[in-house]
Chain A
Amino acid sequence: MSIYKIVLLSVLLVFISRVALSAPLEINFWTCLGNVDGAVMGKLVDQFNKENPDIKVKSLQGYSTEKLMTAGLSGNLPEIILTRTSELSTFIGNNWVVPLPQEAIKVVGVRSQDFYPTAWKLCYYKGKQYAVPLDIHLLALWYNKKMFKEAGLNPVAPPRTLEDFVTYALKMNRPAEKKFGASIPTSGPWLFVWSFYTLLWQNGGDIFNADETKTLVNSPAGREALQWMVDLAKKLQVHQIDTEAGRTGRIGMWFDGPWVLTFWQESPIKSDVATAFYPQKDLKKPIVWAQSHIFTLSPNAIKDQARLEASVKFIKWISEHSINWAYAGQVPANNAVRNSKQFLTDPQLALLRTFAKELPAARYVQTTLPNFVEVQDKLVSKMEAAMAGKLPVDKALEEAEKEINDMLAKVKR
């Protein structure tokens, strides 16, 4: 080959390699979010892509189980999956996620001291780290100051104990006018059972015993918790008012998470609503149910080093910019963000700050059971029977205990 051709070829090679290198690395990111949440996360992803032109993150807000299953079978899992702490053991059991390679974590700079410790710990499964927490969401008391005033209650002194809660609720309760002192969820595997867990824990009980071979819901603690909920529903004549009915302005108090923050920004009754700590049985030992969204990596993320580093880089970036995520109604797990001036002073986040202050009381559902969802469904079904008056509380929890213990006995350990 002549010199001329060699020069041309090498210039061409350099040009091609530069183009190839500058073509952004494509990373797929699936989340469990939907609705408003998903839109906020989508915008964050867009911002990341703009600031990091060498990486292109393609996001999908709201995967379905079918999609994860088929992706797992065909090797098409996204590199990063955002899921919840309660689902981690399931994901691990389905081979959808892998332990986080510690060197990559160190290289990119994701350190445990930057995160809320309890959330960080929940990302570990049998000693290995599988995830990085994004946020914490927990339950709190939402109340309507206007209804407080109408009943002669002090709008800046919401009830701190469960007893006071019931008293206040009954005082504000005027069913004939369709104004209710409080509403509690009466069915479903979400807020309904989360409220039960909170009360169960406050009463000193727990869901399972230490090695998760037996359920402990049929204990005095559990029976008291469920009875409290059933009695309250009866006293208030609460008929399946979802917590979202608080938006009608006719409910005095309800339990809900921070994720509804965006509603209240534009609500006409915005100034009437405030948040407070979840009422407690024992003010010295406050407990409230909590859960986190967590970033996990699928087997596809560790296929090559570039992909892995890009994924971890993305996780770190989102975490550092999670102040924007806070506006979707989530308490950031990143300590720096949570203690930032913006988070602590922005009036738009006023309702959210209560949740952040409640963090010391946060208690997660911790389980390594592969069939936790099935077990919980059984519990919820019996609880619904008690709520509907089909079974007395004792019988309901007794049956739940028997059937759940049968399920636990079948689990391969």
Chain B
Amino acid sequence: MSVNLKMKNFRYNRSFSVIGNYLYILPFMFFFIVFFAFPVFQGLYISFTEWRVAGQPIYVGLKNYIELFHDRLFYTTLKNTLIYVLEFFPLSVIIPLLLAVAINRYIIGLDFFKFALVAPMVVSVSAVGLIWKWMFNTTFGLINYYLEKVGIHGPNWFMDPKFAMLAIVLTSLWWGIGWNLIIFSAGIKNIPQELYEAAQIDGANRWACFWYITLPNLTQTLLFITVTGLIGSFRVFGQVYVLTNGGPYDSTRTLVFYIYDNGFRYFKMGYASSISWILFIIILGITLLQFKYLKGWGEQQ
């Protein structure tokens, strides 16, 4: 075939294939739009109404948002959520990362370790909460019992606002490390062995291998983990509901908990919706920043 004809075919094929490319996202976009985007926008509409989830929603304009602006409890929940994120999120990334590196090479009992590290993932959030609620019981629980054995007077886990949040963070770490561990593990496995071999021939030690080979090759994985991890931390709810029910003295009442309370206990669905949209804007802002900052060391593979 002549060159011109080949190029013409090529261009023709290309525009055809662009439409074809849309086909790949079609199934997903269908489900996404019908079952996600649509309800989310309905949620937006509801935030401009008052609705007891009985009868019809009543349009009230910006009333919910204005009320939210003056709501002291909302700012408390925002603060609590930020505290949780700061205490939980960094550890929820660093610990699984180190563990993933640690289990990447053979060691005695590797199978056992792999199983043990992800086992807590399997338990549902309610059961996790109930297990740890009794373990954290100040007088009779396992944690304080063993703390006392080493001479530390166990704190008042669920009565002292300082420690209640810590209890939730610890419970969440126990439960959540497995998730990120699996993803990091999968990411590390994708790194070609030759890179490590070449480095060790050049005399690099473990730390250098980690810093100069492992980490840079994990940027895509890290982006995923930090974006979803941060979003997930902001959305903490299930454990709080079981462990502390938002107390004591609202010290563990997080944003999503406040949304749940307003929507399903106080029957103020419109107000709950408005809180979730403010939460949305906050997290969206943070996520966009993450993409902007981390995208630099992302896309150039």
B54 at interface, CB cutoff 8 A: yes
Residue B87 interfacial (CB < 8 Å) = no
> How many whole Å from A178's CB to the nearest CB in chain B?
7
Complex: how many Å from CA A377 to CA B262? 11
Contact B138 A241 (CB under 8 A): yes
Whether A73 contacts B53 by the Cβ 8 Å rule is yes
Q: Closest A-chain residue to B145, C-beta based?
A: A178
**Pair A388/B249 contact, Cβ less than 8 Å:** yes
| Chain A residues, Cβ within 8 Å of B53 | 69, 72-73, 94
Chain A's interface size range is 35 or more
Q: Tell me which residues across on chain A come within 8 A of B266, comparing CB atoms.
A: 371, 373-374
A93→B52 contact, CB < 8 A = yes
In the complex, the answer to whether A390 meets B267 with C-beta atoms within 8 Å is no
Task: List which A375-399 residues lie within 8 A (CB) of chain B.
Answer: 377, 380-382, 384-385, 387-388, 390
A95 near B: Cβ within 8 Å?
yes
B248 touches A245 (CB 8 A): no
Q: Closest CB of chain B to A63's CB: distance in Å?
A: 12
Do the beta carbons of B248 and A93 come within 8 Å of each other? no
- Complex Cα distance, B250 from A380, in Å, reads 9
Q: Please, what's the 1-or-0 string for B30-58, where 1 marks a CB less than 8 Å from any CB in chain A?
A: 00000000000000000000001111000
- The distance in angstroms between the C-alpha atoms of A239 and B247, with both chains bound, is 15
Residues of B near A248 (CB, < 8 A) are: 140
- Most chain A beta-carbon neighbours within 10 Å: one of B52, B55, B137, B139: B139
- Chain B hits for A65, CB < 8 A: 264-265
Chain B residues contacting A73 (CB-CB under 8 Å) are 53-54
> Would you call A387 and B54 a contact (CB within 8 A)?
no
The reply to whether A187 and B158 contact each other, CB–CB distance below 8 Å, is: yes
Q: B234-265, CB under 8 A of A: which get 1 and which 0?
A: 00000000001101111000000000010011
Q: Is A367 an interface residue (CB 8 A)?
A: no
How far is it, in angstroms, between the C-alpha of A315 and the C-alpha of B137 when the chains are bound? 40
Query: Using Cβ atoms and an 8 Å threshold, which residues of chain A touch B264?
Result: 65-66, 69
Contact residues in B for A382 (Cβ distance below 8 Å)? 249
Per a CB cutoff under 8 Å, which of B54, B139, B248 touches A388?
A: B248
Contact for A95 among B55, B139, B244, CB less than 8 A? B55
Within residues 41 to 93 of chain A, which ones have a CB less than 8 A from any CB in chain B? 65-66, 69, 72-73, 90, 93
Indicate if the CB atoms of B161 and A388 lie closer than 8 Å.
yes
Contact indicator B54/A384 (Cβ below 8 Å): no
Contact between chains at A380 and B159 (CB < 8 Å): no
Q: Is B197 an interface residue (CB 8 A)?
A: no
| Residue contact A388 to B267, C-beta cutoff 8 Å | no
CB proximity to A under 8 Å, residues B137-180: 137-140, 156-161
State whether A240 and B157 are in contact (beta carbons under 8 Å apart), knowing that A90-B267, A95-B54 are contacts in the complex. Answer: yes
Q: Does A242 contact B (CB under 8 A)?
A: yes
A138, chain B: closest CB distance, angstroms: 23
Task: Mark contacts of B262-284 with chain A using CB atoms, 8 A cut-off: 1 yes-contact digit, 0 otherwise.
Answer: 00111100000000000000000
**Cα distance A384–B250 when bound, in Å?**
9
- Kindly state the separation between the CA atoms of A73 and B51 in the bound complex, as whole angstroms: 12
- Closest approach, in angstroms, between the C-beta of B69 and any C-beta of chain A? 15
Q: How far is the CA of A94 from the CA of B250 in the complex (A)?
A: 27
Q: Judging by beta carbons under 8 Å apart, are B247 and A384 in contact?
A: yes
Question: What A residues does B160 contact at CB under 8 A?
Answer: 388
Max chain B C-beta neighbours (<10 A), residue from A240, A245, A390 = A240
Find chain B residues with CB under 8 A from A188 CB: 245, 247
**CB nearest to A245 among chain B residues:** B140
Interface pair B159/A388, CB less than 8 Å apart:
yes
| Cβ–Cβ < 8 Å partners of B247 in chain A | 187-188, 380-381, 384
A186 touches B (CB below 8 Å): yes
Q: Which residues of B contact A314 (CB under 8 A)?
A: none
Known: A72-B53, A93-B267, A96-B54. A240 touches B161 (CB 8 A): no
26 CB-based A-B contacts, threshold 8 Å: A65-B264, A66-B264, A69-B53, A69-B264, A73-B53, A73-B54, A94-B52, A94-B53, A95-B54, A96-B54, A188-B247, A240-B159, A242-B137, A245-B140, A373-B266, A374-B266, A377-B261, A377-B265, A381-B249, A381-B250, A382-B249, A384-B247, A384-B249, A388-B156, A388-B248, A390-B161
Binding site for B on A (CB under 8 A): 65-66, 69, 72-73, 90, 93-96, 178, 180, 186-189, 239-242, 245, 248, 370-371, 373-374, 377, 380-382, 384-385, 387-388, 390
